Amino acid sequence: MSAGTSSDPPWFTQERNQEWTAVLRDSKNWLTLFPESGRSSDYGVRGAAHLYMGLIHEALPDLLRADELHRTELASKYGQQRVWGGIKKLLATVYLLLRDTESAKRELRSDMKGILDWPDCFTDAGGGVGPGLLLWYIAARAPDAALESEALTYLQDLLRKHNQPRFQGWPRHLAKFVLGQYSFAALLQDAFKCIDLDELERCAYVERAAPPPGEVPFFDAEVPPTGLLLRRHLAQALFYGGIKARLHDPALGESLLRRCVSLKDVDIENEWYLAFLELGLVGPGPSR
């Protein structure tokens, strides 16, 4: 990973910084010119840009506003009883980077309640396991047995309720791993059809050829991912693998977390940022 200056966040690269700087500029311009038209996605994008640039305190109000607007938009469209967080995993990540664990737990619990109250809402392809996984991580790092039981019960309930084909995708594999239904090797084999981390990292930088102009790309869920999608999934697998391994083998846990942070262009994955935190690479105060 290329280095910036001493004031840059630990995940900094020149190329991604340029891209996120452009995103931040455009979102600021839009919200300045049309503040009354701001949508949850506008504030969410600006918050994500602030996070990448290490401006974590600036990211928080944007993400809080994005979450507020998202809930209002859902309530307006579906009714007050069908509201969930949507952006709360990112909010929880920012709170954790700011060392505010209680606020992170609050946001994740709110997300989990919304998913349980509205089981047909748009979540991840595992039926909404994401916030439960992050709550388990918080419990594991504490450690907190009661909180871990809460997270595992939530994940077990979701896996039991969601047996339809549409809920069998990633990150359901991670829920099975955290619940002890998989070894780490079995997780890699089931999700990626390969247990060699070096080979997986090589495939993670091989992009499939783009389809001809005007042709919709064909997606086959049975074919192991490559390129960016593989990097994103691999970052999450390495993170949870590292957190779980560290409970019994600290050296192995650190090795997996270091593999996670070495992956490039996965800065939309919460776990990638949290791996830097777990390795002690993010300071206790503002990154800048």
- pLDDT higher than threshold 80 for residue 86: no
Query: Are the CB atoms for 152 and 181 separated by under 8 Å?
Result: no
d(CA 156, CA 131): 13
| Per-residue pLDDT at 260 exceeds 90 | yes
Report, as an integer, the average pLDDT of 243-270: 96
Averaged pLDDT for residues 255-269: 95
DSSP per-residue codes, 78-111: H-TTS---SSHHHHHHHHHHTT-HHHHHHHHHHH
Give the chain's mean pLDDT. 88
pLDDT of residue 136: 98
Please compute Rg for the chain using Cα positions: 19
pLDDT of 93 > 80? The answer is: yes
**Tokens at residue 54, please?**
């290490």
pLDDT of 285 reads: 47
Nearest to 279 by CA among 263, 262, 257, 264: 257
CA dihedral sign, ordered 220, 223, 228, 229 = positive
**What pLDDT is recorded for position 128?**
87
Nearest alpha carbon to residue 261 among 119, 109, 269, 194: 269
> Domain limits of the chain?
1-83, 92-167, 182-208+221-288
Predicted confidence at residue 186, as pLDDT, reads 97
pLDDT bin (cut points 50, 70, 90) of residue 208 is: confident
CB 178 within 8 A of CB 240: yes
pLDDT of residue 228: 92
- Tokens 């931040």, residue located: 24
| pLDDT above 80 (res 1) | no
pLDDT of residue 81: 66
Task: Summarize the confidence of residues 85-108 as an average pLDDT.
Answer: 94
Q: What local confidence, expressed as pLDDT, does residue 198 receive?
A: 97
Cα-based angle 195, 217, 22 (whole degrees, multiple of 5): 85
pLDDT for 49 beyond 70: yes
Confidence of residue 234 (pLDDT cuts 50, 70, 90): very high
Which pTM value belongs to this model? 0.90
pLDDT surpassing 90 at residue 222: no
The confidence score (pLDDT) of residue 276 equals 97
Residue 226 pLDDT exceeds 90: no
Hey, what amino acid is at 115?
A: I
Q: Is the pLDDT of residue 218 over 60?
A: no
Structure-token pair, residue 5? 């200056």
Checking if the pLDDT of 286 tops 70, the result is: no
Q: Lowest-pLDDT range, 131-135, 183-187, 284-288?
A: 284-288
Q: Check whether 80 has a pLDDT greater than 80.
A: no
Task: Render pLDDT for 161-207 as a digit per residue (tens, 0 to 9).
Answer: 877 666 778 999 999 999 999 999 999 999 999 999 999 999 999 98
pLDDT of the residue at 194: 95
Residue of 19, 15, 88 whose CA lies nearest to 49: 19
